[in-house]
Every structure is written in structure tokens, then in C-alpha cells.
Structure 1
Amino acid sequence: MADTYRIAIVGSGPAGLSAAAHAAKLGISHILLEKTDHLSDTIYKYQKGKHVMATPNQLVLRSDIDFDAGKREKVLGTWDDQTAANKVNVRLKSEVKAITGAKGDFTITLTDKTEIKAENIILAIGTQGNPNLLRCPGADGGHLELQYQLDDPGEYVDEHITVIGAGDAGIENALGLAQDVAQGNIVSIINRTADFSRAKGANVKLLMQARDEGRMNVITDATPNRIEAGHLVLDTRDGEARIRCDRIIARMGSAAPRKFIEECGIQFTSPDREAFPTLSPQFESTNAGIYVIGALAGYPLIKHCMNQGYDVVEFINGNTALKPADEPILEGKFVNLPIKKSVDEWLEFIRTQVKILNDLSPLQMREFMLDSDVRYYGKNDIIFEKNAPGSSLFCIAQGSVDIPLPDGRSTGIVIPEGSIFGEVGLVSGRRRGSTIRSIADTVVVEIPRNAILKLMASVPGVKRAVTRISTERQLLQMWQAGLQPADLAEVLETAEIKAVRAGEAIFKEGEEGNDVYVIRSGSVVVEKSIGGKPVFLSYVPAGNYVGELELFDNGIRKQTVRAAVKSEVIKLGGDAFRRLLEAKPTFFAKAKTAMGEREDLASFIEAKKDSFATVVDMYSSVANFLVDNGVGEATDVLLIDENLCVGCDNCEKACADSHEGISRLDREAGRTFAHLHVPTSCRHCEHPHCMADCPPTAIHRGQDGEVYIDDTCIGCGNCQRNCPYGVIRMEKEPPKKPSLWKWFLFGQGPGPGEPSHEWAYANATPGVEKAKRAVKCDMCSGIEGGPSCVRACPTGAAIRVAPEEFLTVARLQRDDA
């Protein structure tokens, strides 16, 4: 009969290796099972020469195996040597097929039919053997090389290589491929969002540096659409983009080998593919005696994994009083709270109280809290002011908050215990939309934007909860009409978030359907076929809804609605929405008015299709031209009527004189259709491209929607590179000009407008070298009278408009009247 080990460790990655080394150190009978012929297969599969990071820096390492940041080869060499020195009982080429039995009497069956007995089992198998696959047309067609791992970047020469996925693994692969320019590779990396929430800050910094040096193409807000021979087609904010591609390296994360783990009798926190096993604070699974550590437990950083390996052996050995290595850090988070609890008590209290955190395991709670802060507020304390900068999310663990009026009275909007606030800044990047005040003794958890985005990406339950709450609040704010959260329950059950690429139809004229679509981000255009041609009816920005016209008739779509730019819409079940309308007469009356206006507009265009055909066609063509030139994602845009413009350049001169001598406007640049010109000036996009990568977070949105750059700008140029419309300049502040009166009376200074480079150079302060900084239109924020360019135009040719006011054929009705 085979010997029974006290501990069997499955998997020799950082977690399993550390556990085995500590078992050996304590003299506990153990066996370390590894399915390959070498230790630590995950690290072994890292690309050649990869720099392995030892983060978080503030965390103490507990392990009998050393670990310092360094090259992959050095780390593996150290571990091989110390594993041997510690006399760890390793069995290589031992793949586990099944685990049966119960605590104290487990049987591990290997693929070679060997059976191993153990009292306790530690699963440290990670998730890398189960990668998320690329699923798009052509992925299985052999059009190009597709792989899910990179061993040696030096193997590839003169190829167009695309890395899909911008977590740490994807970024490191891309950097490795682009490191040696002499190899001749053209490397691109694709990230589905504008944020790099899954990656370490150091990796993101290196990625941006490679991009700035021209060694890498960084494509954000993009997803694979299909693979063709030698090309990858992407869905981007601006529609389809086709890039040359010989090889795809897909690094899109991985998931637990769920079937095997569930066959071991271990339950998961939810049915989601990305869910993790349900574990106790001592790493014990729902099958007593089987412990789960490492990436499989939801804690993927190497230092965390090694600490878990040490700790779990201590727990099995009876040291239940041992506190995790991060305990002192977390104690510091709670030390100033008036309520005294242990770290474990606080973590469990917050997890159970805050709805969005209910699905987190104790381990995930610890990692999440390392990035977050806990604060206490007394009654009537202000947590943040309206228009304050900030994009973090707040969770109410205890107490409640409200939204006060300027005079201190409450609006009656109370956010209760267990809920969240601050989600508007999280979703839109805008400044705080309301002042938030505590109305009782309140404990809140503030989660930085990157931390909550990472949590939403890795824990599906968190994403669902945040999405539901933000959707509910968006609907309440948009519809008002006395609706309460309870009124929306049925409608929210039907809610589905859908991403729509630029130009894609949400629904088409003539189709069946009565679902309603709320525009969550981006914008859409509404068209109707007139005489066999699509006629532009209106532009609808985020915060509105479409599709309600079919609720009370035969359910045949009367219009086509398509995305003007990459957008997100909330699909609401038409039947549930109709019942909501019928139950709320005030809301019904409000919606009926909006429906009537849209139907009247369509009828008007249909009636005028013969007598007004040329005019209708012109309006439609102009509107489509403007949408194609970025107006579809604008919140405020400068337009010039060239029938009125006399070319005086007063607009540019006024802009410069209002902004330290530097104009934010190039009147002559830009495109023209008919008599309408779109000059090079900021559109103040709903989701600004320039904000996507600003290291000092110097770009903000003001209370009137203006996007502006503050004095913390470091001149890195990322915003200029990210703006697709060329509206940002990198400039040194010129010398101060004499006043216009001195120029007019005495000829002093360069005169109105932006001074010439020659004058600026000649009048610069000797010995003072001014740094460049980014400059762009700020809509003359803080200047009385509004935008200087519009006020200075002598003919009224320059106008600044919100697209939803300008882009509508309803103007024809006004003109006709």
C-alpha cells in the first residue's frame, strides 16, 4: 500500500513551490506534483529575457524560497537551486487526472494511473493552461498565425505582429517584440478600452514610451471584428479599421479549469466563467481538506502567491492564529475609524454590507482593499462638492448620504447603506455632478478608478451590480416624471448593455421590434428612407432614448437608427417599457409628447419630399458630413458659415488675446462641405480621446462641459497624439505682450492675435527656457460673454453649437415657417 503524505501540493508555480518548501522546512511529509518536466511552468513559459516584477513593493515576502525582481532566467535558476537545497520532494511529469476521497484520506490519480494518498491537498495549478480564446470570424481559418503564448521574441523577424490584450502579459509580449528595431517587426497592441486597468503602472509607462518612440502602435477602444488573409479587421470608435497582420498573439486572460475543479468537489462563487472557487480566509475550499492558493484563488501576483504558499502550510499545521503578510497594511486602513473591529471583521462587514462586493472572496477583498481607502464622516459632513474633480467610486458600508441644495436643504434624494455613488465620474470621466453629504455617521470605501475597473473586469458580479445601479440612476435622471427606483424593477430585469460600432445600425426601417434603446455613451443618428434614399432626420446624443415609436402600433420600425460613433446602448424590453408607461400617466404624457414630435418630423419630411427634395437632400448631406467629421461625439463644436465669413481672422486673434497669446483655433484648417466649414478647434468630445492617457491627470471637464488642461500639464504630448482631430498644440508660453492700446497708439508689441515666432524669440527673457505644454480650446471658461471667437466675428459666421440642436432636419420646419 502506498505511503500517505500529510500534504500533497499540485502545481509547482510560485504558490505551490513556496508551500512545498515550507512543508520541507517544517519536516512535514509532502509531495509536490508537477505535470511538466520542470518547475514553475507558468514562469518557465514567460518570454525569454522577461523582467519579472516583485510587486507590491510594500508587501513583505514570507517564503523559504527567495524572490527578487529580475530576469526570468535568474528567478527560475534561484528557485531550482533552493528547491533542491530545501530537499523538497518533487515528482515531475505527474499530471493529476482526478481527486477523490475526503479530508484525511484523499486519493490522487495521475494520468499514468499512479495513485497517491494524502491527508490534505493544496491546489496551486493556476489558470494559464486555460486561456480565453479569440472568437471572431476567421480565427479558426488559418488566414494567419494565431498563438496564445510568446516564448522568445527574438524568433520573429520582419513580421506585422498584433498583440490582442493589454494586461501585463500582453504589454510585456509587445514590448519584447518591439525592443530590437533591427528585427524589423511592426508591432501593434489592441486594448478594448481606453484604460489599462489590468496592467501595472510601470508596464503602462514603458508601453507609452515605446509608442512615443515609434516602436509600437497602441490602438485603444478597439476589438477584433474578423481575420482576413494577411489582415486583422477591428471595430474602433470610428468604425472598421483594417490593419496588416501576419501573426496574432492573443493575451486575453484565462479562467480556472472549472470542470476538473468541480469534479474535485469544490464550489465556485458564481456560474460565471471568470469566477473563482469559494474559499475560507485560510484558503480552504468547500471540500474540506482541499486548499486553493495562487492565481486559482484570484490572487495572481507572484509575491502574494508565495506568501499564500507559506501561510496555507502554517494553517494546515495548526497555526490558525497566523495573520497574512498584508495585515499591517490593512490595519492602517481601519485604524482611524471610530468603530473597532479586526481586519477580518472589517473586510467581512464591508463585503456583506456593500452590494457590489457580495461576490468577492476573502482573498479578493484583501487585494481590493490594498488599493482602496476607508473613511468615516459624521452627520452633515460633505464628502465631495459638485464640480469637484474625481473619478473614484464610493461604497457606503454604514450610514447613508443625500444630495443637498445650495442652501443646505435636501433634494430628497437619499443613497442608502450598501449602495454606491460617484458612478457618473467613473463612467463619463466628468467632474462630480452633485454635492454628496452624509446624513448619519457614515463609513465609506473610496475605490480609485483603475481599481474598480480592474475589479469589474475580473469579477463579473461586480460589473453587473455597478452596471445595474448606474443604469437605474441614468434612467431616473433622464425620465424624471416622479419615477422611483421600485418603478423600474421590471424594466431593469430586461436591460442589456450593447456595444455598437460607428455606423452600425441599432435597428432598421421596416424591421419588426418594439424594444427601446437608451444611449448610454456616444450618439446616434436617425434616418428615414425618402424616395429610396436615406434622409438624415436627427442626431441623438447620450442621455436620450430611441425606438419607442413602435410601442403602441404594429411593431414595424418606422426609422433607421445607427451609431454616429462607437457607442453603448441599453436595450430595454418593449413590453416591460410599455407597462411602465401605462402605470405612470405623467411619464406616459411626457413620452407621448416626444413621440409626437418625432412622428410630426417624419410626416413633414415625407410631405415635402417632392417640393423640398433638393433642400432636404442638402440638409441630410450636410448632417452626414458633420457626423463624419467628429461632430457625432462632440458636445460643443465651432462651425463657420463661409457664405458669411470674410476671412478677417478676428476669431483667431481674439482667441489668442484671450489665452496668453496662443490661439486655440486654426480657421483655415479643417474640412468644408458646401458653405459649412469645420475648423480645427476642440469638439469637447463626450468621451475625450485626450483624457485616455494623461499621466498627471491634467485634463478635466468643467461644469459647462468644456474639456480643459490645467497647470499640472507636464508636456508629455500624449493628448496631442491621442486627439484624432489635431486640435491640441504643444507650445511654450510666449512673452507678455504690451496692451492693445500701446500697440494702437505707439506701435509697441506685435499687435492683436498670436505673436510671430520671431517676436517671441526676440522678446524672450534671457537665460529662461520655458517648457512646452499642451494648449487647446477651453470654450473661454471663466471669460464673461462666452467664446471669444464667436464674439469677435463681425458677420456672425462663427457659431458654437451643441450638435443635437444643430443636426436635425427639424430646422427645415422652422425655416419653412
Structure 2
Amino acid sequence: MFGRSVARMKSFLLDDGQDKRAEAHDRKFIGIDANVDLPMHKPIAELGPGELFGEMTCRTFQPRSATVVAREPCVMVEMLRVILDMLVGTRQISEASKSMSKALKAPTFKGTSFKAQMDEKYRQRSLETHLRSVPLFASVGDEFLKYLKEKVELVSYNQNDVICREGEEADAFYLIRSGMVRVSQAMPGGEMVRTYLSRGDFFGEIGLLHAINRIATCAALDAVDVVKVPAAEFNLMLEKFPGVRAQLEPVADARMAATRGRVAPAGLRLDDYLNQGLFEAQNLLLIDLDNCTRCDACVQACAKAHDGISRLLRDGLRYDHFLVATACRSCRDPLCMTQCPVGSIRRKENLEIIIEDWCIGCGKCAELCPYGNINMHPLEVTKEVRTEVKSPNPNIPPTVKIEKKKSTTYKANTCDLCTQLSVPSCVYACPHDAAKRVDPQRFFGDALEMQNKLFDDEWTPARRYETHHTH
């Protein structure tokens, strides 16, 4: 039905590592005729014929959490992420992304038993691997983790859904498995955003530790999955494992102190940071407008490094005194990868976007990027055209005339972070140290830290948070 370009048979020998960490993020496997192990420091599961694996990374765009090893020679069906998306159903897309990208839709086979089976396995594996990987649970024994796994639930929220509201009774503790959560408090004249939390963070501990109502409202910034630990199991865990309480109390006390008597300092534009989607980025190209002379050396250097085609525009949104250049942001939820019909776009562990040579130029990835960071560039190709020329004499067989004709096709292009070089060309070429590649969350600082430091007039962005700078 889908053809060889999206699904294929693969054979593996004994001890072959099939699903290695940080590799093949855009593929999943179905075992056909043999057993495989899922080791994670120690084996955590054994899969047999017909079992699925690799689906969690395809759905969350996160690195692999385990390595799969063949216990005996086996045959697998490997399929691209696009087929999994079609079988499981359309993902929830943020309203901000929808407003910027009009092509956000995907075919789906709703109501299939495959989708129900996938959802059940996804929940089971997500809970187990997440609980094992959270540092907070380092002191919790395996036996209690198994008990906890049966008591917690995996809950999903769409954009702007309220997870817990300020003033309500504290009834659960939450671990963020994927997505971003906004933490805010009611203030005279409106609401003040205190911070934002992402994958691996937790919230809800203050009300449970101090037996008080919620002191803040937590809402989903985009599609969010959380592990919800009910209050009874949370309190039992604190009682049995004092090490967990010892880790939680300093965090809760610091968060409580940060909310007392604080007002929004002048110049802090956290709302802009959220509205512009900067919280979704992992690697931003920033241009310091106080230093930039508009010489375009960055654009020219990019073009020279990429066969005359620049992959950045010195234009974009402004945040503080920085220009957020039009270049790939390495989004946490890369919409550009979700609907490629031939699976030609993928991302490596170092955040480099790879667009394979089999790109058919359909432009779907460019349509889906909410920030205009993928462009379609024309390519001239030469094809052989064979024409059959019949002879006037019926006794003479026709001849084949071969002509070479030029035609134009298109291929997607986006920033590749110049990973083959020590520093991105645009950053290296800037004569005024205005161009920087940064991790925005670290560069601009955690929102609570920003508020505290700015309140005392101490905070400035530190160079240690840059991924690349010129000198």
C-alpha cells in the first residue's frame, strides 16, 4: 500500500544493535520472526515476533531511550515516521503554529485496532522509562517504582489547557514527559508569568509538601504529556524514601521565596519570549543589533559555504536588542518533519537537519515550518528522453532517438549549523561579534532567575550560554 520508500524488510544477526541511542530517530520496527532485548544499563524488556518498538521517539522527537539487541537472527519491518503518524492519527498542533502554517493536516486511519494497540503500549513504556530516568527517583527502589507505575497515570493536555489552577486543592504531583508548561500567578490588573517548565521538570510539590492550596496556575503552552502522581502515593513515597523529600524541599522553598513580594521588573518581556515561540527553540541565531552594522557578512559567508545559496536571512522577529534571524531554530517539536511523504528530512543528535538526496521537492516541510526557515530552491537537472522513431519502411524496425533535456526541480534547504566546521560560517564571519548561536533557555536564563537578578539589577546574559561566538 505504501511502497518500498516508506517500509522495508531488514535482517539482523545475533547481538546486532538495531535501535541505537541517538540513531534512526525517524524509523520504527516490527519484529517478524525472532526475539530481541531492550537493555537500558540492564535488560528491561524482551520483545518477540509481532512486537513493536521505536515508536516513542517517532512520536516525541526525543532521543532513543534504549538500545535494542537481537538475541538471535531475525527479520524486521522498518517503516518511516510518516506512516506511523498516519496509522496513529493526527497530532494536536498549537494554535500559534496553525496561524503561521496553513498546511497542518495529515491523513489518518481513525478507529483502527493498530492505533488502540499503539496507544496502550506507548503509555506503558513511557511510564516505565520516564520513572526510571528521572533523577528525583534515584533513591527509590525498583520494587516501589513498579508499585508506583501501577498507581500513576499518563495524562495529555492540548495547548492552553489548565493542568492545575491557583487556589485549588493540591491533589497530585506532576512530572513533565514532553512539551512546555507555563507557570503564572494572578496579579492586580492581570496575570504574571513566573516561569516555564519543560521535559524532565516537575511541579505541584509545594502544595503537597506544605499542605496548602496551589500557589500558581500551570497551563500547557503546547501539546503536553505529564506523569500524574496522586497525593496519597506521593506522600507514601516521601515517607519511605527520605532522599526524595531532601531533594524536593530546597526546590519548593526556593520557588516559594521567588513568589513573595515580587513584581515584574521593567524591561522583562517574558510574554514576548513565549508569544514569539522562542521557548520552543534549542539553537537560535541571534544578531546583537547594538553591534551589527548591517554589512551582510554573515549572509555572504553562509552563501559561500553552501554553493552560493544562503540559508539565512538577516531579518526576523526582535527580542530585546537582538534580531532573531530567519534560520533554523532546532525546534523541540519540529513540525517540518511530520508530513514528508518520502521521509527525506530528519535531525541528527547534534541538531543538524539533514535533507536527503531523495527529496522530491513537494515543499511540505517549508509549508509546515511556522518561522519560514526552510526554503525551496530550484535545481536544473538533465534527463534522457527516449523517443521511438518509426521508419517509413515497415520492414525496418523503429529506432530510438535519445535526447538530453533540461528541466527544473526543487529541493528543500535549511540551516545545517555548519556542523562540519568548528564554528558556523555566519558567526565566524561577523567582524563585530554581533552574530551568536545560542541555547535560548540558557542564554536568557530561567525566568525565575531572571526576575530575581533583574530585581536586584545584577543579571546580564553570560557568554558561557552561547553555543558559538566569534572570538
Is TM (by shorter chain) over 0.5?
Answer: yes
Change (3 A) 1:474 1:771: same
Aligned residue for 2:128? 472
Q: 1:775 aligns with which of 413, 421, 428?
A: 413
Change (3 A) 1:565 1:414: closer
Task: Provide the C-alpha distance between the structure 1 equivalents of 2:85 and 2:334, rounded to a whole number of angstroms.
Answer: 20
Q: Name the SS of the counterpart of 2:349 in structure 1.
A: coil
Aligned residue for 2:248? 591
Trace 1:201-350 onto structure 2 (pairs within 5 A). Answer: 201=2
Task: Provide the C-alpha distance between the structure 2 equivalents of 1:501 and 1:694, rounded to a whole number of angstroms.
Answer: 24
- Matched to 1:675, the amino acid is H
Aligned residue for 1:426? 58
Residue-by-residue CA offset, 1:686-730 (whole Å, 9 max, x unaligned) = 221111221221111111234332322221111111112111111
Aligned residue for 1:518? 175
Trace 1:6-155 onto structure 2 (pairs within 5 A). Answer: none
Task: Provide the C-alpha distance between the structure 2 equivalents of 1:665 and 1:567, rounded to a whole number of angstroms.
Answer: 31
- Matched to 2:276, the amino acid is N
1:441 aligns with 2:72: yes
Q: 2:204 aligns with which of 518, 535, 547?
A: 547
The 8 Å contact of residues 36 and 68 in structure 2, kept in 1 or not, is answered as no
Residue-by-residue CA offset, 1:520-578 (whole Å, 9 max, x unaligned) = 33212222334454222222222322222222122411122222223333333232133
The 8 Å contact of residues 652 and 665 in structure 1, kept in 2 or not, is answered as yes
The 8 Å contact of residues 393 and 452 in structure 1, kept in 2 or not, is answered as no
- Matched to 2:58, the amino acid is L
Aligned residue for 1:648? 295
Aligned residue for 1:810? 449
The 8 Å contact of residues 32 and 77 in structure 2, kept in 1 or not, is answered as no
| Structure 2 unmatched runs, 5+ | 90-110, 381-403, 459-471
Q: 2:37 aligns with which of 373, 398, 401?
A: 401
Structure holding more strand per residue: 2
Change (3 A) 1:483 1:789: farther
Q: 1:528 aligns with which of 185, 192, 196?
A: 185
Q: How far 1:377 sits from its partner (Å)?
A: 4.0
Q: How far 1:775 sits from its partner (Å)?
A: 0.7
Q: Name the SS of the counterpart of 1:790 in structure 2.
A: helix
Change (3 A) 1:484 1:511: same
Change (3 A) 1:587 1:646: farther
| Structure 1 unmatched runs, 5+ | 1-55, 57-200, 203-370, 405-410, 735-765
Q: How far 1:518 sits from its partner (Å)?
A: 2.8
- Matched to 2:435, the amino acid is A
Q: 1:631 aligns with which of 278, 292, 313?
A: 278
Q: How far 1:395 sits from its partner (Å)?
A: 5.7
Change (3 A) 1:396 1:471: farther
Aligned residue for 1:715? 361
Aligned residue for 2:422? 784
Change (3 A) 1:698 1:372: closer
- Matched to 2:216, the amino acid is Q
Change (3 A) 1:461 1:717: closer
Task: Provide the C-alpha distance between the structure 2 equivalents of 1:649 and 1:576, rounded to a whole number of angstroms.
Answer: 58
The 8 Å contact of residues 539 and 803 in structure 1, kept in 2 or not, is answered as no
Trace 1:785-800 onto structure 2 (pairs within 5 A). Answer: 785=423, 787-800=424-437
Aligned residue for 2:18? 383
Q: How far 1:506 sits from its partner (Å)?
A: 1.9
Change (3 A) 1:721 1:451: closer
Q: 1:568 aligns with which of 225, 229, 254?
A: 225
Q: Name the SS of the counterpart of 2:171 in structure 1.
A: coil
Residue-by-residue CA offset, 1:735-782 (whole Å, 9 max, x unaligned) = xxxxxxxxxxxxxxxxxxxxxxxxxxxxxxx98656321111222223
Task: Provide the C-alpha distance between the structure 1 equivalents of 2:88 and 2:338, rounded to a whole number of angstroms.
Answer: 19
Residue-by-residue CA offset, 1:308-339 (whole Å, 9 max, x unaligned) = xxxxxxxxxxxxxxxxxxxxxxxxxxxxxxxx
Aligned residue for 2:317? 671
Q: Name the SS of the counterpart of 1:383 in structure 2.
A: coil
Change (3 A) 1:601 1:614: closer
Q: How far 1:455 sits from its partner (Å)?
A: 6.9
Task: Provide the C-alpha distance between the structure 2 equivalents of 1:636 and 1:814, rounded to a whole number of angstroms.
Answer: 24
Q: Name the SS of the counterpart of 2:361 in structure 1.
A: coil
Q: Alignment RMSD, CA only? A: 3.6
The 8 Å contact of residues 23 and 349 in structure 2, kept in 1 or not, is answered as no
Task: Provide the C-alpha distance between the structure 1 equivalents of 2:30 and 2:284, rounded to a whole number of angstroms.
Answer: 33
Aligned residue for 1:196? none
Q: How far 1:398 sits from its partner (Å)?
A: 5.9
Q: Name the SS of the counterpart of 1:651 in structure 2.
A: helix
Task: Provide the C-alpha distance between the structure 2 equivalents of 1:592 and 1:614, rounded to a whole number of angstroms.
Answer: 27
The 8 Å contact of residues 524 and 632 in structure 1, kept in 2 or not, is answered as no
Change (3 A) 1:722 1:673: same
Higher relative contact order (CA 8 A, sep 6+): 2
Aligned length: 400
Residue-by-residue CA offset, 1:253-293 (whole Å, 9 max, x unaligned) = xxxxxxxxxxxxxxxxxxxxxxxxxxxxxxxxxxxxxxxxx
The 8 Å contact of residues 181 and 198 in structure 2, kept in 1 or not, is answered as yes
> Greater CA radius of gyration, 1 or 2?
1
Q: 2:335 aligns with which of 676, 689, 697?
A: 689
Aligned residue for 1:412? 42
Change (3 A) 1:791 1:423: same
The 8 Å contact of residues 541 and 804 in structure 1, kept in 2 or not, is answered as no
- Matched to 2:347, the amino acid is R
The 8 Å contact of residues 284 and 438 in structure 2, kept in 1 or not, is answered as yes
1:680 aligns with 2:310: no
The 8 Å contact of residues 23 and 348 in structure 2, kept in 1 or not, is answered as no
- Matched to 1:639, the amino acid is L
Task: Provide the C-alpha distance between the structure 1 equivalents of 2:237 and 2:221, rounded to a whole number of angstroms.
Answer: 29
Task: Provide the C-alpha distance between the structure 2 equivalents of 1:653 and 1:583, rounded to a whole number of angstroms.
Answer: 62
Of the structure 1 ranges 689-698 and 521-530, higher mean CA displacement relative to structure 2 is found in 521-530
Task: Provide the C-alpha distance between the structure 2 equivalents of 1:567 and 1:810, rounded to a whole number of angstroms.
Answer: 24
Task: Provide the C-alpha distance between the structure 1 equivalents of 2:65 and 2:309, rounded to a whole number of angstroms.
Answer: 31
Q: How far 1:666 sits from its partner (Å)?
A: 1.4
The 8 Å contact of residues 403 and 434 in structure 1, kept in 2 or not, is answered as yes
1:454 aligns with 2:111: no
- Matched to 1:454, the amino acid is L
1:704 aligns with 2:340: no
